[in-house]
């Protein structure tokens, strides 16, 4: 199977449901052959964007182009896009083979050719021999793969998947995610996947489009988004981030000082773009914190609340002096004597990598 | 009986056994034993020997089928209108489908007597279009009866269809659209097949009701078009031939019942289970 | 990129089918009843459509004791039959619905078809069965026989309406009530009955309306000298086409609507459902 993979561009897409704006001014680009993930909390408009790309909703205003051609005026069925729906939308009255052959039957393919194509697709998704089953006789994972096969049947230039793993057990999810990535890489098909699960998005996609409340917060590779979040929302939605309130005392090229809500003072060796007196929120990733014995310019005093082992790591919940709770992870060290609960300690912040956002932003 | 619920069930149980099962048993016994025909099924044999009677059975079942076909042709566009409608349109369709139910069968039949009669609007329209020459009446014709019954029983078919459609997953239709299917194809390959459990339920109700609707059959079909219910009525109230009437009663149950059972079997098809 | 002309054509024809035929047939479903209703306001001597003018003369004729003595008597008899049928259905069906929810699912599944069977059978057949059974016991047709038939045939409507609610009742509500010190009787009266009320009211509505409308049961079971409204209307349909039948239809529809509204008012539950 060879695919004529094409680049997708969405430009200025908005949609309102009966006067209620659901998405506004959404623009992003997916290079040919790439997997992009639309990521965001439930109800933020991901499905709406996907359905507009598919042609199931009008993209007015907005332009959607595939391989450089504007496909906005075309109805969904003439766009040549394959789509896997949330809960798969397999036709319950058709067998697996009939489901997969459904899109082929409109293209004037004869029976033989259809049958051969169905077999080929079933082999691709590793479901050979299940042709005559009805969808309700399949497991969730099998149903998902039938839906993928049906979406791929006519060699689409673009594959859209709406929460394809949401209905599956955690254990099964990982296997199917790997399988999907492998399939996508063999076919080289441009793919957009919708998910509210940031781990899933990072695992699958080479590009993330993070959405919140109907607009895009940030686009970029998973690493860019994790390490350089553009907003407090992205920072806390993608991966865990502890939040500490502070007020800027001084900010200059030589360095900045912050008055933390605990009363302590922190020094950052960089310039902040905040006027002195601005309230801000510092965010810290748990793996970038460490426990130290002695206070310094970039430590805060704290008290251990609880430690939870998680695989090779241990997660520690720590209360700062004013009660603010943050989490910290460190490798589990069996030789060191375990920390006592309520033990006073100092947390060293990675002052180079911590992020500072204006406090006005919703948490 | 130890079960504390038993006293609550007892009155209804006695009513069922004494008021329903017993009279039906009497009727069955009567149909076999009364009258002068020899043999256990002598009454039935005598009835079925007469080709005139056989035709009445055939006509009754055929009438039911014809009404089902016409009602289906009427119901499908309305159901699709409901399917495509927004909240307001859907509510309107449901209210309008329930509205005729506020009028009794007699009232609805009366409406059709006005519509089909010599002075009625249908004759005027047909005459104006040149479909008929000169004023006449559509009463006492099978066509008129079928149309009237189809309209009278239509809610029985439409409401189960709407019940299924209201629960149907729109994504199935969107999936068909993405697969490249046009609106007609989506209707015939996705929407209607998935509505089939409701359609069959509606067919059963429509068939049963149309084939046994004594009032409409008698008032519109008159004395010229005879179906089993009217035949039964005549045996009782005009000819006082109760033995034959009891035979007709069971033939009515068996002939319509076997069609209903056959339709009910259809819903057991593996492809229909689970959707709806 | 092109949008093919065949695709345009098919969406136009489909749109005509759904919105054109759909709306037309939806109208077809309701218009006959509206026409028959409009006939009740005719000022003419006959049921010619459209009516030559509007008047209330036929409603007035219904009230005139000289012209409509028989119709009034028939209405009074029918009202009595319906009220007794509703009361008797309450006595039989409500406890049964309550008890049904308290026996094992296996037994309930065995009993339910027995309780619902009379509803499924053509009522003409049951009327004949009861006529023959009564005759064997030397009971001649009477109003009470009609009431019994109505209870047997339409009581199941009450049973089904109440039972569907009783099945969903949370048994722990009753346990809670008895743990709080209520006796069995006061638990039934103050907890169970109010919860069942929507089903009971719906059942009363259905039994009442059916008892007023049904022709087949009084056809065989009413005594010769007693007039019953549906029989009276049926006779008018068949021969005279007296415009009073339009007025009676109007009154019956009005009664149905009033009772329906009353049922909805009585039932806070149903009212809330309607609002949401
Ligand atoms: N058919 C619809 N009618 C009205 N509002 C809708 C419809 N579909 C979605 N919405 C609303 O639009 C917003 C975005 O929905 P959706 O795109 O489904 O979000 P997501 O897929 O990210 O969970 C939500 O607030 C949702 O309630
Ligand atoms: Mg969604």
Question: β-strands A190-195, A158-162: how paired?
Answer: parallel
Beta strands in B17-144 (DSSP E): none
Pairing of strands A190-195, A35-39: parallel
Q: Quick one: CATH architecture of C67-275?
A: Orthogonal Bundle (1.10)
Burial of residue A250 (CB within 10 Å: 0-12, 13-18, 19+) is: middle
B177, A77 Cβ separation under 8 angstroms: yes
CA of A211 to the centre of ligand 1 (A): 13
pLDDT of residue A310: 86
Q: Is residue A2 part of a domain?
A: no
Q: Are residues A136 and A71 in the same domain?
A: yes
Are A171 and A297 within one domain? no
Residues with Cβ within 8 Å of B179's Cβ and at least 6 positions away in sequence, in order, are A77, A102, A103, A106, A150, A153, A154
Q: Residues A56, A192: one domain?
A: yes
The verdict on A224 and A252 lying in the same domain is no
Residues A111 and A244 in one domain: no
Query: What's the pLDDT score for residue C59?
Result: 93
Helix, coil or strand: residue A61: coil
Residue A2 has a pLDDT of: 47
pLDDT at position C179, please? 79
Show the tokens assigned to C214: 């049904």
Average pLDDT over residues B47-55: 94
B50 touches chain A (CB under 8 A): no
Alpha helices in chain A (DSSP H): 46-54, 96-101, 111-124, 140-152, 170-187, 198-204, 222-227, 232-237
Closest-CA residue, ligand 1 atom 3, reads A17
Residues B250-274 have pLDDT tens digits of: 999 999 999 999 999 998 888 887 6
| Structural domain that includes position A341 | 240-358
Best of A18, A102, A109, A154 to disrupt the B interface by mutation (most B CBs within 10 Å)?
Answer: A102
Name the CATH topology of B59-226. MetI-like fold (1.10.3720)
Contact A57, A14 (CB under 8 A): no
Count of structural domains, chain A? 2
DSSP state at residue A13: E
In this structure, the answer to whether residues A283 and A338 fall within a common structural domain is yes
**d(C-alpha C42, C-alpha C52), whole Å:** 7
CB C148 within 8 A of CB C137: no
The 10s digit of each residue's pLDDT in A216-234 is: 999 999 999 999 999 999 9
Chain C hits for A74, Cβ within 8 Å: 1, 3
* pLDDT single digits (tens) C13-29: 999 999 999 999 999 99
Nearest-angstrom CA–CA distance, A224 and A208? 9
Q: Mean of the per-residue pLDDT values for chain A?
A: 90
User: Is A185 in the same domain as A75?
Assistant: yes
What is the Cα C232 distance to its own chain's centre? Answer: 19
Q: Residue with the nearest Cα to atom 23 of ligand 1?
A: A43
If you write DSSP's letter for every residue of A286-306 in order, what string do you get?
GGG-EEESS--TTEEEEEEEE
Last residue of a domain, one of A180, A198, A233: A233
CB B138 within 8 A of CB B113: no
> How far apart are alpha carbons C117 and C112 in whole angstroms?
8
In this model, does residue B153 exceed pLDDT 80? yes
What pLDDT, on the 0 to 100 scale, is given for residue B274?
A: 61
Q: Which of the residues B2, B11, B12 would you substitute to probe the C interface, choosing the one with the greatest number of C C-beta atoms within 10 Å?
A: B12
Note whether A203 and A177 are within 8 A (CB). yes
* Token pair belonging to B186: 């989506």
Q: How many residues does chain C have?
A: 276
Q: pLDDT tens string for chain C (276 positions)?
A: 445 667 777 889 999 999 999 999 999 999 988 888 888 998 888 877 778 889 999 999 999 888 889 999 999 999 999 999 999 999 999 999 989 988 888 999 999 999 999 999 999 999 999 999 999 999 999 999 999 999 999 999 999 999 989 888 877 877 787 778 777 778 877 888 888 888 999 999 999 999 999 999 999 999 988 999 999 999 988 876 788 888 999 999 999 999 888 887 876 544 444 333
| Confidence (pLDDT) at B139 | 85
Residues 6+ apart with CB under 8 A from A112: none
The CA–CA distances, whole Å, from B133 to B65, B107, B123, B129 equal 30, 30, 10, 10
Q: Identify the DSSP state of C236.
A: I
pLDDT tens string, chain A, 363 residues long: the values are 445 789 999 999 999 998 899 999 999 999 999 999 999 999 999 999 999 999 999 877 899 999 999 999 998 888 989 999 999 999 999 999 999 999 998 888 899 999 999 999 999 999 989 999 999 999 999 999 999 999 999 999 999 999 999 989 888 898 899 999 999 999 999 999 999 999 999 999 999 999 999 999 999 999 999 999 999 999 999 988 999 999 999 888 888 899 999 988 888 888 888 888 889 999 999 999 988 888 888 889 999 998 888 888 889 999 998 889 999 998 887 666 677 777 788 999 888 888 999 987 554
Residue C5's pLDDT is 64
Same domain, A134 and A69: yes
Tell me how crowded residue A361 is: count the other CB atoms within 10 A of its CB.
13
Contact C163, C100 (CB under 8 A): yes
Q: Closest partner residue to A91 among B190, B270, B273, by Cβ? A: B190
From A21, A45, A215, mutation site for ligand 1 pocket: most ligand atoms within 8 A of C-beta? A45
Task: Give the domain ranges of chain C.
Answer: 67-275
Residue A56 has its nearest CB partner, among B174, B193, B196, at B174
Confidence (pLDDT) at C168: 84
Nearest protein Cα to ligand 1, atom 9: A48
Q: What is the dihedral of CA B114, B118, B120, B125, to 10 degrees?
A: 150
DSSP state letters, C164-182: HHHTTS-HHHHHHHHHTT-
The reply to whether A44 and A173 lie within a common domain is yes
pLDDT, tens digit, for every residue of A138-192?
Answer: 999 999 999 999 999 999 999 999 999 998 988 889 889 999 999 999 999 999 9
Q: How many CB atoms lie within 10 A of CB A254?
A: 9
Cis peptide before A149 (omega within 30 of 0): no
Closest CA–CA distance from residue B82 to any residue of chain A (Å):
19
Tokens, residue B93: 């369709």
Residue A1 inside a domain? The answer is no
| CA-based end-to-end distance of chain B | 40
Residues B58-82: pLDDT tens digits? Answer: 999 999 999 999 999 999 999 999 9
pTM value is 0.89
With an 8 Å Cβ cutoff, are A71 and C1 in contact? Answer: yes
Structure tokens at A344: 């006073």
Look at residue A65 and give its three-state secondary structure. Answer: strand
CATH classification of the domain holding A133: 3.40.50.300
Which of residues 27 through 86 in chain A touch C, CB cutoff 8 A? 69-71, 73-75, 78
As a whole number of Å, the end-to-end CA separation of chain A is 47
Q: What gap in Å lies between CA A230 and CA A235, rounded to an integer? A: 7
Q: Which chain residues have CB less than 5 Å from ligand 2, an ion?
A: A 47
- DSSP H helices, A55-197, are 96-101, 111-124, 140-152, 170-187
ipTM score here?
A: 0.92
């Amino acid at each position: 199977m060879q695919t004529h993979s094409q680049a997708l561009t969405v430009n200025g897409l908005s949609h309102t449901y009966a006067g209620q704006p659901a998405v506004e001014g959404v623009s992003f680009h997916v290079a040919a052959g790439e997997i992009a993930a639309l990521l965001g909390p439930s109800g933020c408009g991901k499905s709406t964007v996907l359905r507009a790309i598919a042609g199931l909703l009008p993209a007015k205003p907005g332009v959607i182009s595939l391989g450089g051609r504007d496909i906005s005026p075309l109805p969904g069925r003439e766009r040549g896009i394959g789509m896997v729906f949330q809960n798969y939308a397999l036709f319950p009255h058709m067998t697996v083979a009939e489901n997969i052959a459904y899109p082929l039957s409109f293209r004037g393919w004869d029976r033989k050719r259809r049958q051969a194509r169905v077999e080929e697709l079933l082999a691709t998704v590793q479901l050979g021999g299940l042709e005559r089953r009805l969808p309700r006789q399949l497991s969730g994972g099998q149903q998902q793969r039938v839906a993928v096969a049906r979406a791929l049947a006519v060699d689409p230039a673009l594959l859209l998947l709406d929460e394809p793993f949401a209905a599956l057990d955690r254990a099964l999810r990982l296997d199917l995610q790997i399988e999907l990535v492998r399939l996508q890489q063999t076919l080289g098909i441009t793919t957009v996947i919708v998910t509210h699960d940031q781990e899933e998005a990072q695992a699958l996609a080479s590009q993330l489009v993070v959405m919140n409340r109907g607009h895009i917060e940030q686009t970029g590779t998973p690493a860019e988004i994790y390490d350089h979040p553009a907003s407090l929302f992205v920072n806390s939605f993608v991966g865990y981030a502890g939040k500490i309130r502070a007020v800027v005392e001084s900010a200059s090229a030589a360095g900045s000082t912050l008055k933390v809500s605990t009363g302590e003072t922190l020094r950052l060796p960089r310039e902040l773009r905040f006027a002195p007196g601005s309230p801000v929120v510092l965010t810290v990733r748990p793996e970038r914190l460490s426990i130290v014995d002695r206070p310094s310019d970039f430590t805060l005093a704290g008290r251990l609340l609880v430690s939870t082992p998680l695989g090779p790591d241990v997660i520690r919940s720590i209360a700062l002096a004013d009660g603010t709770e943050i989490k910290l992870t460190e490798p589990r060290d069996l030789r060191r004597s375990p920390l006592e609960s309520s033990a006073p300690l100092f947390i060293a912040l990675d002052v180079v990598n911590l992020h500072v956002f204006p406090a006005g932003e919703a948490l | 009986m130890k079960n504390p619920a038993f006293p609550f069930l007892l009155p209804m149980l006695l009513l069922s056994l004494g008021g329903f099962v017993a009279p039906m048993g009497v009727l069955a016994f009567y149909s076999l034993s009364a009258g002068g025909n020899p043999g256990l099924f002598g009454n039935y044999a005598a009835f079925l020997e007469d080709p005139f009677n056989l035709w009445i059975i055939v006509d009754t079942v055929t009438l039911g089928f014809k009404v089902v076909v016409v009602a289906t042709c009427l119901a499908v566009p309305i159901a699709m209108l409901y399917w495509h409608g927004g909240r307001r349109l859907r509510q309107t369709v449901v209210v309008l489908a329930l509205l005729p139910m506020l009028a009794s069968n007699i009232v609805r039949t009366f409406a059709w007597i006005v519509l089909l009669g010599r002075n009625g609007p249908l004759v005027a329209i047909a005459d104006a279009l040149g479909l008929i020459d000169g004023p006449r009446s559509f009463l006492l014709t099978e066509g008129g009866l079928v149309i009237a019954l189809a309209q009278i029983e239509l809610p029985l078919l439409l409401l189960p269809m709407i019940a299924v459609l209201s629960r149907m997953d729109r994504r199935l239709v969107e999936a068909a659209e993405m697969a490249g299917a046009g609106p007609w194809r989506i209707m015939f390959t996705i929407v209607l097949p998935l509505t089939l459990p409701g359609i069959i339920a509606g067919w059963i109700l429509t068939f049963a009701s149309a084939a046994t609707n004594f009032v409409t059959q008698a008032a519109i079909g008159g004395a010229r078009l005879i179906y089993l219910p009217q035949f039964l009525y005549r045996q009782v109230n005009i000819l006082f031939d109760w033995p034959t009437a009891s035979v007709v009663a069971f033939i009515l149950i068996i002939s319509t019942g076997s069609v209903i059972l056959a339709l009910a079997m259809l819903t057991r098809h593996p492809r229909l289970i689970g959707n709806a | 990129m092109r949008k093919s002309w065949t695709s345009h054509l098919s969406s136009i024809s489909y749109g005509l089918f759904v919105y054109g035929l759909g709306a037309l047939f939806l109208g077809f479903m309701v218009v006959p009843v509206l026409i028959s209703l409009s006939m009740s306001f005719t000022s003419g001597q006959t049921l010619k459509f459209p009516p030559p003018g509007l008047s209330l003369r036929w409603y007035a004729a219904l009230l005139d004791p000289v012209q409509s003595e028989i119709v009034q008597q028939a209405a009074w008899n029918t009202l009595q039959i319906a009220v007794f049928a509703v009361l008797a259905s309450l006595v039989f069906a409500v406890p049964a619905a309550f008890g049904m929810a308290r026996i094992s699912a296996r037994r309930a599944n065995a009993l339910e078809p027995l309780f619902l069977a009379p509803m499924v059978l053509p009522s003409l057949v049951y009327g004949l069965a009861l006529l023959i059974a009564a005759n064997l016991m030397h009971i001649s047709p009477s109003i009470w026989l009609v009431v019994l038939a109505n209870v047997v045939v339409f009581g199941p409507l009450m049973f089904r309406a109440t039972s569907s609610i009783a099945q969903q009742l949370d048994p722990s509500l009753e346990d809670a009530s008895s743990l709080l010190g209520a006796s069995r009787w006061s638990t039934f009266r103050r907890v169970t009955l109010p919860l069942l009320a929507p089903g009971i009211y719906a059942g009363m509505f259905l039994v009442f309306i059916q008892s007023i409308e049904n022709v087949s049961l009084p056809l065989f079971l009413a005594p010769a000298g007693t007039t019953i409204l549906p029989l009276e209307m049926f006779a008018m349909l068949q021969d005279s086409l007296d415009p009073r039948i339009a007025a009676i239809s109007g009154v019956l529809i009005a009664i149905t609507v009033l009772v329906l509204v009353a049922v909805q008012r009585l039932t806070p539950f149903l009212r809330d459902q309607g609002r949401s």
